């Protein structure tokens, strides 16, 4: 650990984090847990990523890794000891020299609607249609836009999805100012910021599958720092890690980046009789305009042992193969590399 043994109680561990209020809240949560398991104080080191300073839409700047690369560089250069990421922002390719030491228990996976007058999606669109106008919904995610537009087409609703960027305050501010009628955000982020009370409605995964890894955090450190990696591993939640492994395996096999219109969710269900529990993986790929959505699922028994990660990857790859055979690659457009 950059010359500082884990047992040195005097030296604080340096946790690299993005500067946003949400990133700081998430990192603060992890910092407290790391202090609990190591006995070491943890200091937050704020790092600006390219995704934080660019004003372009995520789809235009590549999406994959734009919130992660600067943190990983700081790890490899020894400027920080470990980093906390939103797992949905992590590229699927494993970086050389770094390890995903822990995936803590997942928060709420759902997307959330924050709307004018606190109305739900159907109520909002019906009210505005009665006033003779369309419903303007802001989101920076092609995945959300695809599923919102598909919902609107299925329900005969007039919805216009508007690309937005910015922190939670900025996005919710579009609704407060009347510039937009609603925005869609991850429920997990609002919960972690103590702002769950501002959610108008949670969007059921049946309507909108989340991003692969949504609601989960990733704690990363260098592979050479085996003592720290072992300590951080005590924060790992095996059912969450296995579920997000399946989701990310699907994303990787589709060769899609985190800004592609791809949703995935793995959930645990009781097995039959005395059999092991089953992991069900749902995946969706669509066009951003919502004209076409391809949605499939796969499931299988899965034992939480040393082979669980491989089993989860196999499930993700199998579902991706079915989606690709059904034409998923043409729906995503040019694949993100």
Query: What CATH number does residue 23 fall under?
Result: 3.40.190.10
Give the chain's domain count.
3
CA–CA separation, 200 and 119 (whole Å): 6
Catalytically annotated residues: 89
Do 89 and 72 belong together in one domain? yes
Do 53 and 124 belong together in one domain? no
Q: How far is CA 294 from CA 25, 28, 150, 177, 212, in A?
A: 35, 38, 11, 36, 16
Do 171 and 129 belong together in one domain? yes
Q: How far is CA 146 from CA 132, 257, 293, 299, in A?
A: 24, 15, 8, 25
In a domain, 211, yes or no: no
Could you read off the pLDDT tens digit of each residue along the chain, which spans 337 residues?
444 445 455 689 999 999 999 999 999 999 999 999 999 999 999 998 655 454 554 444 444 566 799 999 999 999 999 999 999 999 998 889 999 999 999 999 999 999 999 999 999 999 999 999 999 999 989 999 999 999 999 999 999 999 998 899 999 999 999 999 999 999 999 999 999 999 999 999 999 999 999 999 999 999 999 999 999 999 999 999 999 999 999 999 998 765 679 999 999 999 888 888 999 999 999 999 999 999 999 999 999 999 999 999 999 999 999 999 999 988 875 433 3
Do 116 and 174 belong together in one domain? yes
Residue 219 phi, psi (nearest 5): -110, 120
pLDDT at 192: 97
Domain C-terminal end among 152, 178, 203? 203
Do 83 and 148 belong together in one domain? no
Q: For the purposes of burial, counting CB atoms within 10 Å of the CB of 306, is it exposed (0-12), middle (13-18) or buried (19 or more)?
A: exposed
In a domain, 4, yes or no: no
Do 254 and 285 belong together in one domain? yes
In a domain, 6, yes or no: no
In a domain, 167, yes or no: yes
In a domain, 72, yes or no: yes
Q: What is the CATH number of the domain that holds 318?
A: 3.30.160.40
In a domain, 7, yes or no: no
Nearest by Cα to 113 from 157, 156, 144, 149: 144
Is residue 69 helix, strand or coil? helix
pLDDT at 11: 87
pLDDT at 273: 81
pLDDT at 331: 83
Do 26 and 63 belong together in one domain? yes
- On whether the CB atoms of residues 49 and 115 are closer than 8 A, the answer is no
pLDDT at 333: 59
Q: Which residues pair with 293 in a beta bridge?
A: 286
Do 88 and 42 belong together in one domain? yes
In a domain, 137, yes or no: yes
Do 97 and 162 belong together in one domain? no
pLDDT at 257: 64
pLDDT at 50: 53
Nearest by Cα to 51 from 187, 185, 166: 166
- On whether the CB atoms of residues 285 and 272 are closer than 8 A, the answer is no
Per-residue b/e over 70-99, b at no fewer than 16 CB within 10 Å? Answer: bbbebbeeeebbbbbbbbbbbbbeebeebb
Do 91 and 221 belong together in one domain? yes
In a domain, 284, yes or no: yes
Do 118 and 179 belong together in one domain? yes
Do 230 and 253 belong together in one domain? no
CA count, 13 A, side-chain hemisphere, 201: 16
Q: Is the pTM value of this prediction over 0.85?
A: yes
Q: Which domain holds residue 140?
A: 111-203
Instruction: Provide the Cα torsion 263, 166, 290, 315; round to 10°.
Output: -10
Sign of CA dihedral 308, 89, 31, 45: positive
pLDDT at 4: 44
């Amino acid at each position: 650990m950059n010359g500082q043994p884990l047992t040195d109680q005097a030296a604080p561990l340096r946790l690299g984090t993005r500067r946003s209020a949400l990133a700081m809240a998430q990192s603060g949560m992890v910092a407290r847990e790391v202090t609990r398991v190591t006995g070491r104080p943890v200091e937050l080191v704020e790092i600006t990523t390219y995704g934080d300073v660019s004003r372009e839409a995520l789809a235009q700047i590549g999406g994959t890794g734009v919130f992660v690369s600067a943190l990983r560089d700081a790890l490899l250069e020894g400027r920080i000891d470990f980093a906390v990421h939103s797992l949905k922002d992590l590229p699927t390719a494993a970086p050389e020299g770094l390890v995903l030491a822990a995936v803590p228990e997942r928060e709420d996976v759902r997307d959330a609607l924050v709307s004018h007058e606190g109305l739900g999606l159907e109520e909002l669109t019906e009210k505005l249609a009665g006033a003779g106008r369309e419903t303007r919904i802001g989101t920076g995610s092609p995945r959300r836009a695809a599923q919102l537009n598909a919902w609107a087409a299925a329900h005969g609703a007039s919805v216009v999805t508007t690309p937005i960027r910015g922190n939670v305050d900025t996005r919710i501010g579009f609704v407060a100012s009347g510039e937009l009628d609603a925005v869609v955000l991850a429920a997990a982020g609002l919960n972690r910021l103590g702002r769950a009370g501002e959610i108008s409605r949670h969007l059921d995964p049946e309507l909108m599958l989340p991003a692969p890894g949504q609601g989960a955090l990733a704690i990363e450190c260098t592979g050479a720092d085996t003592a720290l990696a072992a300590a951080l591993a005590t924060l790992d939640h095996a059912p969450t890690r296995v579920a997000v492994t399946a989701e990310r395996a699907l994303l990787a096999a589709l060769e899609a980046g985190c800004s592609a219109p791809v949703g995935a969710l793995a959930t645990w269900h009781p097995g039959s009789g005395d059999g092991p529990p089953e992991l069900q993986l749902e995946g969706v790929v669509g066009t951003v305009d919502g004209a076409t959505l391809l949605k499939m699922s796969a499931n299988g028994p899965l034992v939480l042992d040393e082979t669980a990660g491989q089993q989860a990857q196999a499930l993700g790859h199998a579902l991706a193969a079915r989606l690709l055979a059904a034409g998923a690659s043409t729906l995503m457009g040019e694949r993100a590399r």
